[in-house]
Amino acid sequence: MTTGNTIVTQPDQRRKGFTLSPLALVVIPLAFLSAFYFYPIFSIVRLSLAPAGTLDISAFGKIVGSSYYLKTLWFTLWQAVVSTGLTLAAGLPAAYVFGHYNFRGKGLLRALSTVPFVLPTVVVAAAFTSLIGPNGVLNTLLMGVMGLEKPPIQLLGTIWMILLAHVFFNFTVVLRIVGSFWANLDQSLENAAAVLGAGRLRRFVEITLPLLSPAILAAGLLVFIFDFTSFGVVLILGGSQFATLEVEIYRQTVNVFNLPVAAALSLIQVLFTLLLTIVYTRLQTRAARPLNLRPTQQTLKRATTTPARLLIGATVTFMLLLLIAPLIALVVKALGDGVQPLSELFINRRGSYFYVPPVVAIQNSLLIATATVLASLFLGTIAASVLAYAGQSSSTMRIRWSAFLDPIFMLPLGTSAVTLGFGYIISLDHPPLDLRASPILLPIAHTLVAFPFVVRSLLPVLRGIRPDLRQSAAVLGASPWRVWREIDLPIVARAMLVAATFAFAISMGEFSATALVARPEFPTMSVVIYRFLGLPGALNYGQAMVMSAILMLVCSAGIILIERARFGDVGEF
Amino acid sequence: MKQTTSDILLQVSHVVKSFGATSVLRDVSFDVARGEIVCLLGPSGCGKSTLLNIIAGLEHADSGSVFVNGEDISGTPVHRRGFGLMFQGLALFPHRNVADNIAFGLRMAQQDKTAISQRVAEVLELVGLAGFEKRDVNQLSGGEQQRVALARSLAPRPKLLMLDEPLSSLDRALRERLMDELREILTHVGQTAIYVTHDQQEAFALSDRMVILNAGQIAQSGAPRDIYQYPADAFVARFLGQTNLLAGTVRAADKRLVHTAVGPLVLENESCNEGTVTVLVRPDAALINGEANRIAGTLYEQTFRGRNTRITFKTDATTLIFELDSTAPLPPLGSALILSLRPSAITCLPQTTV
């Protein structure tokens, strides 16, 4: 912008003498992060590394000197790289199909693809076990059909299981972020390349891929951070021979109570995330181009040719197999023991203090999720808009501080949930922020995790809006707020829906922080599931599965509802 | 333009296309000769861009074929057709600099590096952007982007270059300058071209032949001068800015005399059929002092346009627009005026619909 803002603020300056730049709004997300991220993290690190008031960094020495910790770090790194690669490879073809075609059941399939993302790891583990475990649906079927003695699929406890689960979890991230960006790409660029003699493959490699790269980078970063900080998948599906940093932090904190080492590992993990995000931000700024983004009603069409229909069919089949089959197996398993677990769910047989009627748990979860969606959209939209506006600024100072802010906004995602949970417990239970007893702590914790997702979902689209659109609106007399409302919002609306779905899903499924900060009298669905799993007996396990199935259902319904949403004249773009 | 069959590069034959219930092209056929510049002219929504996309291979016709050198290419994919297309929105690759944009088609044709950079420099010179190789396409002005797009489509020496309203987004002065340059560049390299536009000035300036489309059908095709002088019907006449159309009757006794609402008009030629006709009076027909075809009315409006003055002339029956020599003495606005219409500037349209 040479610059939208300067042009916009000039008339105001004449009227009032001085106006705050709209970019100053950035203090709102920054204040939020300071209070609920930096302050708790700082508290736990101080408690761990400087309990007596003086800094003791010998824990770092222990880590660097130990081949065990180095091996853990190495494993964490390479499994994340491979997982991210596989997720991208699996997700891109689906993103293409979702970004180019309308077909029956598309909305439902997209909503269903988000369900894995929200499921607590324990449930995912149960789903995979019930599908491809030694006694799972698939192995039983194959053994019967092929007359085998032993189950043919033996993935549990192998690295393949971890990789598969990571793809299962994060598929939707690629599908949504890349898919919605792809749907907005200007088709005429590819057409131009075709007329100039480029075949299908060349067009993809030379034109589409580079133009998609901001979205691919954004999705890749999110997936990588998720895999890098993976906890439940590795702990439960991988078995004891695999450990990521996050698993090690958990062990050091909960099992060994070695807080200094846990804090040091936590810091190393944060540092890695920071480094990665800085590299990413550099790449992203270079990759982002002013694109002539199109409304999707111009780009999405029904499939008319046979290859296109086959492609859609293949995508749908693949998604059903990868994403839906484990979930169906889970439901089958949940109902396999008859309706007893289902009916038991509504009875407080032992008159327990901890008994929660399912409806109450659903209500609690929905309430918290709604608050999370609203809060994270509010904070994330401000943050993403500021980053996009400042990034297009002519002033190098602005570009620089946006490059500095972006990694900071991503930090909560790469931070150990265990560390953060402990940070909350020790820092937010006394003034100035005494929130331990308040139910508001939960949506705050969830917002912290959802916020980076919102920023990542919105930023590629906001950056792709040509500055001259904003400038022309400003010249036509629109105030900065009106420019945002009239230009940015309609174009970014689709991405905001994507972001809202992520925020909703994260809140519904978030478990680690929830377990630590949830109030007993305000339990959510994932807390109830975890409680059932912690109790012995087949009936309790069955109830956990039924509750998981209900969680799945409520999530799908919520996501479908969000995707149907229209606000004012802002519809699906 | 006289042509033999071997001169024909492109033949569009009975092309039909509809999108859902809307039929966009209804049986369109025309030829393009080697080295010829053909303008596809028509109001927006007449199907001209769709026709271009079908020739390029970006869309497929419901029926009908496209022939190049007598060979049906309907089954050939876009990237094997060896055509050039300059898009309406230009479609410059935002992630490539000027040279890489222009080199794209050459690289697809597997040319070696030195040949490519030589050709890039050559076409940049041709479009007047020598030395622009390393520039970022996003930073160029509208006119410069236009030239880069032209250079990019010219670089691989396409058999046929198609231009889809390439100048529509430019300001008038720039458009007129580029129009002349474009004509010069295209004829200089002997480029066969199809130029799509809705602007008749562009079409007149650029084309050897015009094909006028209306609602998915060819209304008329021919040399610009012929079409301007003898439009086939009222649509073509109006589209080319000729609005003086009168209903009239012709009797068998004298086919050069048309009876109209403004009085009897004498024509120079015998273009009229007996019965009800539509007469076109060209804007340059009127003289202040003349003997033939004198009609009475009032001077309603006048606009000075340099050499000519455009007047709105009201008779009891209708309103006519004329362009008079600016030296002609005009009475004040609102006064009565008698004009004489030159018989050579009056013609009957072949089709009578007004």
Of the candidates B71, B44, B73, the one whose C-alpha atom is nearest the C-alpha of residue B57 is: B73
Amino acid A89: pLDDT:
95
d(Cα A492, Cα A184) in Å, to the nearest integer? Answer: 10
Q: Is the same domain home to B227 and B330?
A: no
Q: Is the same domain home to B133 and B42?
A: yes
CA torsion A497→A501→A504→A507, rounded to 10°?
Answer: -130
Q: Is the same domain home to B261 and B206?
A: no
How large is the angle between the packed helices A441-464 and A159-183, nearest 10 degrees?
50
Q: Is the same domain home to B37 and B186?
A: yes
d(Cα B220, Cα B208) in Å, to the nearest integer? Answer: 14
**For residue A460, is pLDDT > 90?**
no
Which residue in B95, B97, B136 has the most chain A C-beta atoms within 10 A of its own C-beta, making it the best mutation to test that interface? Answer: B95
Extract the tokens encoding B158.
């396409």
Is the bond leading into A341 cis (omega within 30 degrees of zero)?
no
Residue A266 banded pLDDT, cuts 50, 70, 90 = confident
Amino acid A292: pLDDT:
67
Nearest to B85 among A195, A290, A292 (CB): A195
Q: How many C-alpha atoms does A456 have within 13 Å on its Cβ side?
A: 32
Q: How far is A233 from chain B (nearest CA, A)?
A: 39
* A478 CB-near residues (< 8 Å, 6+ apart): A8, A486, A487
Highest mean pLDDT: which range of A34-48, A486-500, B182-196: B182-196
Residue A392 three-state SS: coil
Amino acid A262: pLDDT:
84
CB of A286 within 8 Å of a chain B CB? The answer is no
Which residue in A188, A195, A208 has the most chain B C-beta atoms within 10 A of its own C-beta, making it the best mutation to test that interface? Answer: A195
Is B82 close to A291, i.e. CB distance below 8 A? no
Is B104 close to A193, i.e. CB distance below 8 A? yes
Domain boundary, last residue among B210, B239, B268: B239
Q: How far is A410 from chain B (nearest CA, A)?
A: 26
Q: How far is A206 from chain B (nearest CA, A)?
A: 9
For A214, the closest chain B residue by CA position comes to B95
Q: Is the same domain home to B169 and B97?
A: yes
Q: What residue spans of B214-306 are helical by DSSP H?
A: 224-229, 234-239
Count of all residues that appear for chain B in the document: 354
Q: Answer yes or no: are the C-beta atoms of B39 and B206 closer than 8 Å.
A: yes
Residue that wins the pLDDT comparison between B213 and A128: B213
Q: Is the same domain home to B136 and B183?
A: yes
d(Cα B114, Cα B124) in Å, to the nearest integer? Answer: 15
Is A289 close to B95, i.e. CB distance below 8 A? yes
Going by their DSSP bridges, the two strands B245-251 and B254-260 should be labelled as antiparallel
> Tens digit of pLDDT for each residue in B14-25?
999 998 888 899
Q: Among A78-87, A492-501, B40-49, B58-67, which stretch is predicted with the lowest mean pLDDT?
A: A492-501
* Residue B103 covered by a domain: yes
Using the 8-state DSSP alphabet, how is residue B209 labeled? E
Amino acid A392: pLDDT:
65
**How many domains does chain B divide into?**
2
Amino acid B100: pLDDT:
92
Q: Which domain holds residue B31?
A: 5-239
Q: Among A209-223, A457-471, B39-53, B191-205, which stretch is predicted with the lowest mean pLDDT?
A: A457-471
Amino acid A332: pLDDT:
77
Of the candidates A492, A335, A460, A491, the one whose C-alpha atom is nearest the C-alpha of residue A391 is: A460
Q: Is the same domain home to B167 and B209?
A: yes
* Residue B82 with chain A: CB contacts under 8 Å: 197
Is A186 close to B58, i.e. CB distance below 8 A? no
Residue B182 banded pLDDT, cuts 50, 70, 90 = confident
* Phi and psi at residue A510, to the nearest 5°: -60, 135
Amino acid A4: pLDDT:
39
* Phi and psi at residue B175, to the nearest 5°: -65, -45
Residue A180 banded pLDDT, cuts 50, 70, 90 = confident
Q: Is the same domain home to B235 and B250?
A: no
* Residue B291 covered by a domain: yes
Q: How far is B53 from chain A (nearest CA, A)?
A: 10
Residue that wins the pLDDT comparison between A112 and B100: B100
**For residue B270, is pLDDT > 90?**
no
The domain that contains B306 carries what CATH number? 2.40.50.140
d(Cα A153, Cα A134) in Å, to the nearest integer? Answer: 7
**For residue A14, is pLDDT > 60?**
no
Extract the tokens encoding A269.
């993990």
* Residue B306 covered by a domain: yes
**For residue B29, is pLDDT > 60?**
yes
Using the 8-state DSSP alphabet, how is residue A238 labeled? I
Q: pTM to 2 decimals?
A: 0.74
Extract the tokens encoding A451.
């916020």
Under CATH, which number does the domain A4-16+24-53+67-564 receive?
1.10.3720.10
Q: How far is B96 from chain A (nearest CA, A)?
A: 9
* Residue B353 covered by a domain: no
Which residue in B59, B76, B93, B165 has the most chain A C-beta atoms within 10 A of its own C-beta, making it the best mutation to test that interface? Answer: B93
Q: What residue spans of A119-228 are helical by DSSP H?
A: 121-132, 137-146, 159-183, 187-195, 200-203, 209-228
**For A264, left (φ over 0), alpha (ψ -120 to 50), or beta?**
alpha
* Residue B93 with chain A: CB contacts under 8 Å: 189, 192-193, 207
Is A192 close to B91, i.e. CB distance below 8 A? yes
* B10 CB-near residues (< 8 Å, 6+ apart): B31, B32, B55, B66, B67, B68, B160, B192, B194
Residue A21 banded pLDDT, cuts 50, 70, 90 = low
Q: Is the same domain home to B90 and B134?
A: yes
* Residue B354 covered by a domain: no
Residue that wins the pLDDT comparison between A257 and B146: B146
Is B58 close to A195, i.e. CB distance below 8 A? yes
How much is the CA Rg of chain B, to the nearest whole Å? 24
Task: Measure CA of the first residue to CA of the last residue in chain B; give whole Å.
Answer: 30
* Residue A188 with chain B: CB contacts under 8 Å: 87, 89, 91
Using the 8-state DSSP alphabet, how is residue A570 labeled? B
Residue A428 banded pLDDT, cuts 50, 70, 90 = confident
Quote the percentage of chain A above a pLDDT of 90.
14
Q: Is the same domain home to B201 and B52?
A: yes
> Tens digit of pLDDT for each residue in A382-412?
999 888 877 666 556 666 677 778 888 888 8
Task: Measure CA of the first residue to CA of the last residue in chain A; give whole Å.
Answer: 24
Amino acid A24: pLDDT:
79
Residue that wins the pLDDT comparison between A436 and A365: A365
Amino acid A299: pLDDT:
66
Q: How far is A209 from chain B (nearest CA, A)?
A: 11
* Residue B318 covered by a domain: yes
> Tens digit of pLDDT for each residue in A342-357?
666 666 655 555 566 7
